[in-house]
A and B are shown apart, each in its own frame.
Chain A
């Protein structure tokens, strides 16, 4: 029993780090849903694309061993955000806007198609450029420090820091700026917003641009944390982040943050304690997802709009 308590600080910190990444990716899902009531399934691949851009930047600076890690990290983050944002914008123009009037299911299928398309394009492009579609980068900020009896690497702390900054920045933007107000207006009632003189198309484009940029940032952070990227990392991350967004209340930015952190914590706790809790039956971290998804189901049964979501009545 004492062994279980001893590892608790380590487990919690691991959970928070993973949760921070989930949270940033979840922001992209929740923003687009909030404005368009549309689940952008391609968001996971935009995250993956950001991870590849980050990896290429890191590898560019790899031979310069004397350089402070700050340089590749910041350049990687900015470039990933810019390019992933552009990709997000482009995907909306090409794959979703032409389907604006169609029944709800049609753009959803389009999104799934875009998702597969991007996976294969990235795979083909990197096989052509580098001979393989799996990239491994050097370690940045990987020195370990001890916090409250747990081992953590500097980069994990940085990821949590950057994630918090991004979430705060998004919150300020959406709640305090003119464009943010326009976004909230379009989210509330698209037709009336248009009547009020808001350029709805422009707002939607900005939403996808921002969502893509956040996905790209998450991608670069992922690359720094795990140093290995391939075209399929988006899939699992997408499922987890989307679950986190729904758990916290889809459409709600704070909900996405809370959902992400909670999911990360549940996973880590489940992984560490599920074995001992079930008397050795469900041993090993393979079953950790059971806890996370069981909690999701419970929350949705008792509060279908998620932890922080508001129950929105059907629009007549």
Chain B
């Protein structure tokens, strides 16, 4: 047993400081009251850093605008909403960690997210089980699995890939008049399922699918993959995946001499596709959600967003806004009936699922029994001169 020494004192002091910091970090604040108003928390979960940040930040910004817009109505119903955006880095492990934390924090009443189906697949069940059914609405998940797994707390306002993939295939065969397609995907839940849906319908329409191939996402070198694609000499190359993989991939396939069209899903819907792909992104089609920014509420949103964030709203900004608005409207309705107290999570999720005819800016939202929004339509866009041009709705048959 030694006596007092500086080294031991320092070591002890350091341990005490570390424990204190850890304890302070762990202690979350739950809803208290702010004067007369009940404080509740909402979160967005989307990638705020990394290759897909442009879409994730759009969702966060849209949601933030919705909270600002409804502040007065919320106060009238007795609530002060605190916004805590989360960064899932498009990684399922990170998303699940975030979900555990939010599930345990009783102050949260709702979540808007995610961008990626693969990340949402880990979050929704955690919120369902450990989170006592905390409600979650997605502005961007298109993976079919999300509403086929019995998660009563999960809803989405966008279409599913078993609708998006075939719509793209019909457009490719009937409008672009491609006869052979080479189908690629990024091996994620979203990308692979979407590519398979496309391939199935394309073959049904009468086209030939030369091959279906998975590539590693976010790699640098796609030389071998590009060579293999060129060897099959397809009219069209379909890619199920996100723009941060598509950009370099398309570039390297063009470098090998590909003159045909590229096609993909809503994961390609970002200005960064042109930034990353450059010239190669010309003649790329993609199916996605649409927004009318020229008239009425759409234009008002566009101007508001531009003023607040100094940038044009990316595809999912409007959908982030609408999702948050649905949660907030349901909160207001609940508050008016129950005197502004924190809602029971399972009850609130049931109420959100029962949303009917909500006039969101993007569409009129009614959730069906599974949590899907049947009114969401698929539009086709084409990259021309570095800008995405709306080519109209995809063929229905």
Q: Which residues from chain A sit less than 8 Å from chain B, CB to CB?
A: 3, 6-7, 10-11, 14, 17-18, 127, 132-134, 136, 138-139, 142, 144, 151, 153, 222, 225-228, 230, 233, 236, 267-268, 271-272, 283-286, 288
Contacts and interface: CB of A to CB of B under 8 A. Distances in A.
A87 B275 CA distance: 31
B255 A14 contact: no
The 3 lowest CB-CB distance pairs between A and B, nearest first, are: A271-B224, A14-B223, A226-B220
B53 A285 contact: no
Q: Is the interface of B mostly helix, strand, loop or mixed?
A: helix
Q: Is the interface of A mostly helix, strand, loop or mixed?
A: helix
A283 B255 contact: no
Given A7-B231, A132-B53, A136-B276, A267 B224 contact: yes
Given A153-B255, A228-B248, A286-B214, A132 B224 contact: no
A11 B223 CA distance: 8
B223 A127 contact: no
Contacts of B145: none
A9 to B, nearest CB: 10
Nearest to A132: B53
Contact of A14 (B51, B187, B219, B224): B224
Contacts, number: 80
A106 to B, nearest CB: 20
A283 B49 contact: no
A289 to B, nearest CB: 10
B203 to A, nearest CB: 18
B225 A271 contact: yes
B248 A226 contact: yes
Interface residues of B, number: 31
B50 interface: yes
A236 B216 CA distance: 12
Contact of A11 (B53, B211, B213, B224): B224
Interface in B211-257: 211, 213-216, 219-221, 223-225, 227-228, 230-231, 244, 247-248, 251, 255-257
B227 A11 contact: yes
B79 to A, nearest CB: 32
A10 B278 contact: no
A228 B219 CA distance: 10
A228 B220 contact: yes
B224 A285 contact: yes
Nearest to A286: B214
Nearest to B248: A228
A226 B228 contact: no
B382 to A, nearest CB: 22
Contact of B213 (A127, A133, A138, A283): A283
Contacts of B219: 236
Contact of B49 (A132, A138, A139, A142): A132
A286 B216 contact: yes
Given A6-B231, A139-B278, A233 B224 contact: no
A119 B152 CA distance: 40
Contacts of B187: 286
A127 B220 contact: no
A151 B255 CA distance: 7
A6 B223 CA distance: 16
Contacts of A226: 220-221, 248
Given A134-B244, A222-B220, A228-B247, 18 more contacts: A10-B230, A11-B224, A134-B51, A134-B53, A136-B275, A142-B255, A225-B220, A226-B221, A226-B248, A228-B248, A230-B50, A230-B51, A268-B223, A272-B224, A272-B227, A284-B215, A285-B228, A288-B224
